[in-house]
Amino acid sequence: MTAGAGLLTAPSPTLVDRAQRLLPAGWRGRGRRAAWRRTRARRVLAALLAGLAAWLTLGAVLPQPVPSGVPVVVAAHDLAAGQALTGADLRVARWAPDTRPVGSVAEVTGLVGRRVAAPVSAGEALTPSRLHGPGLLTGLDADQVATHVGVPDARVAALLRPGDHVDVIDNGSGARIGVDLLVLATDPADAGSSSWTGVGSGAPAPGVVLAVTPEQASALARATGAGDLSAGVTLTLRPAG
């Protein structure tokens, strides 16, 4: 107690005194047991902090695990037909190699500025069938070419859309000329006639443009010998995915 101006006041508690008030009853005071308990607690806390520091340091210097899958550029949100793509419209996702869509790209920069040819849903891969020009083969392998194939069955032709995948069978030998070929474009329904009526109607058969290798293009040309592809090959539509 101290005297000042005739009044008695208690001394101000020190910071240590205040801190000790937060401790359990058995840890307070200057006794040996209380001091031992506080020392042990400090050592445990120091060990925990040292472990945390080591974990943070290792996390910063060790190589990060490589994400599984292959990079595929997809729509970051729903895209409307005719929309010009910006970086904010796209993101890179990781796909299993065997599910990577044909014609998909791995980097966003190659698609910025391109225009969407058809509506694209969020998370959908951006492939040539979903984009306008500058060419049908943009984004595909360098060894692929585009070739037109007539479709004698008007019902099959009506089902085909850009982005579909088909098998092409030689009607003469029964051999498969191509498997899982990408449909790049389709003829309009009124190409050469008022409707798709197929072979025997006097109007040219509708057709599709496929992405093939030069060898497959040559095999398609040889399928009939006369160059009438609609009479020498059959197209079968593969299931989506």
Q: pLDDT tens digits, residue range 40-86?
A: 777 888 888 888 888 778 777 666 665 678 899 999 999 876 677 89
Q: Please tell me the pTM assigned to this model.
A: 0.44
Q: What is the rounded CA–CA span in Å between residue 103 and residue 126?
A: 8
Q: Which residue has the higher pLDDT, 175 or 141?
A: 175
- Asked if 151 contacts 207 with a C-beta cutoff of 8 angstroms, the reply is yes
Model confidence pLDDT, tens digit, residues 93-143: 998 888 888 888 888 888 888 877 667 889 999 887 777 666 667 667 788
Tokens describing residue 132: 């306008």
Q: List C-alpha distances in Å: 236 to 101, 167, 169, 218.
A: 19, 5, 8, 19
Q: Is 27 helix (H, G, I), strand (E, B) or coil?
A: helix
pLDDT of residue 139: 63
Mean pLDDT of 15-23: 61
Q: Which residue has the higher pLDDT, 168 or 16?
A: 168
